[in-house]
């Protein structure tokens, strides 16, 4: 069963898992990265809601990073989201 994504207040990231080759790979993305990519004009966006609205795209980015040689945990960066 896939673990649920959650917002980690201490790191300011959404932590989530992506199924890759029948294994769950841990990943994270900063709140600010989500905000600037998906809600730049919103002043009170909820990072978990923003993540959930774009989960499919974000998981695809993680899969591409793994395919290109990244190792777990995958930390999505601003440039990953802009290229996604």
Among 37-41, 66-70, 80-84, which stretch is predicted with the lowest mean pLDDT?
80-84
Cβ-based neighbours of 82, under 8 Å, separated by 6 or more:
37
Token pair for 46:
């909820």
Question: Could you tell me if 76 and 58 are in contact, meaning their C-beta atoms sit under 8 angstroms apart?
Answer: yes
**Domains delineated in the chain:** 6-83 (3.30.160)
pLDDT of residue 68: 96
Helices (H), the chain: 31-38, 47-53, 55-67, 78-83
- Please report which confidence band the pLDDT of residue 17 belongs to, taking 50, 70 and 90 as the band edges: very high
Going from the C-alpha of 46 to that of each of 38, 52, 70, the distances in angstroms are: 11, 10, 28
Separation CA 14–CA 16 (nearest Å) = 6
pLDDT of residue 44: 86
* Model pLDDT for residues 30-67, shown as the tens digit of each residue: 999 999 999 989 888 899 999 999 999 999 999 999 99
Q: Would you say residue 84 has pLDDT above 80?
A: no
pLDDT of residue 1: 87
C-alpha count within 13 angstroms, C-beta hemisphere, residue 76: 33
């Amino acid at each position: 069963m896939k673990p649920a994504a959650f917002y980690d207040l201490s790191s300011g990231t959404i932590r989530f898992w992506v199924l890759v080759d029948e294994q769950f790979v841990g990943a994270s993305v900063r709140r600010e990265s989500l905000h600037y990519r998906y809600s730049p004009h919103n002043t009170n966006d909820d990072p978990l809601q923003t993540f959930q609205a774009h989960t499919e795209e974000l998981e695809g980015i993680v899969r591409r990073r793994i395919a290109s040689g990244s190792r777990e945990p995958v930390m999505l960066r601003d440039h990953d989201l802009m290229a996604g």
